[in-house]
Amino acid sequence: MPSNNEICLMEAVELAGRVREGELSPVEVVDAVLERMEALEPRLHAFCTPTPELAREEAKRVEEKIASDEEAGPLAGVPVGIKDLHAAKGIRMTMGSRAYEDFVPDEDDVAVERLKGAGAIVLGKTNVPEFGYSGASDNPIFESTTNPWDTNLTLGGSSAGSAAAVATGMGPIALGSDGGGSVRIPASFCGLFGMKASMGRVPLYPGCRDESRPGMSSWESLEHIGPLSRTVRDGALMLSVMAGPDDRDRHSLPEANFDWTQAPEGGVQGLRIAYSPDWGYAAVDPEVRRVVGEAVKVFEEASGAQWKRHTRASRTRTTTSWRTSPWTPTSWGCASWPRSSGTRCRRT
């Protein structure tokens, strides 16, 4: 029997396989992760709304399915954190804002629905900046999430709590979303795999598609759901479950013409890879430039791919659209903001 520490550090792929085979109990898995949460949360603040009792109940249901020889799903017994910008039925969803401090959704977001349907066990909601409008984790309700490698440093955002949870073994996977770096930044700062999937690859509903939730609905033209995990295989497993069309999302894409779980296999020999150290104009910290440059050399030597360095880019094209599109009054959700909230529309 593996120790609690070994359970917490297992890949989701291995964890789900051992649960389905009866080698591990989903109840034992959840108990191990909850024990870790109890020890680390006072310093990290990854979870703004933990749901330990709900997680234990769901673990028992998965265990009963397996005992009855029912299909438990590709994520059987795998603990997952849900970013607090995405709805999980019956669990408080604040989006880091006083305006929604007591809001409890009555349905799951599509990605959450699919994760739960695949046997994943929700540990709770992970911390975010207010409405996700920041590359950090500050909000007016909860403590800021800290970087697990050095609690004096930031871990970026807006998928801050999800990144901190995965990096410290409080679940091997967590749900993230990305408009301008909100998966990629915390993944980078925490040494994780994070992917901004194409717009519509993972459908969004009700999430930022529902205009009844001003502030949250502001991300319709920018939001990309993506996984946070410690391995590429686990990220691919998450996407194999979450990706695929849904009529409730007008932007959702058709099924992919490949198998997500097979995508990490093989290599990149013969492929061409473009790399830019600064997009041709951006100021980059000298230490960051050096570390990234050294990493590129390692990949150049080991990958077998053809690497091409680019130093020119259009500043206008890459920045103007980002600075303009999220900040219109309709994207803020001000037009339908509840007058009784007393909250001003502002950029955070």
Residues tagged active-site: 83, 158, 182
> What residues contact residue 290 under an 8 Å CB cut-off, 6+ apart?
none
Q: Please, what sign has the CA dihedral across residues 160, 163, 169, 172?
A: positive
- Minimal CA–CA distance to 321: which of 225, 179, 134? 179
Q: How far is it, in rounded angstroms, from Cα 22 to Cα 60?
A: 13
Q: Give the amino acid at 289.
A: R
Give CB contacts under 8 A, 24+ apart, made by 33-40.
33/7, 33/8, 33/79, 33/123, 33/169, 33/170, 33/171, 34/123, 35/4, 36/4, 36/8, 36/168, 36/169, 36/170, 37/123, 37/170, 40/148, 40/168, 40/170
Q: Please, are residues 75 and 16 in contact by the beta-carbon 8 Å criterion?
A: yes
Two tokens, residue 284? 């980059």
Strand partners for 79:
121
Q: How far is it, in rounded angstroms, from Cα 16 to Cα 216?
A: 32
- DSSP assignment letter at 267: -
Output Rg (C-alpha) for the chain, integer angstroms.
Answer: 20
CA contacts within 13 A on the Cβ side of 277 = 17
Indicate the SS3 state at residue 158.
coil
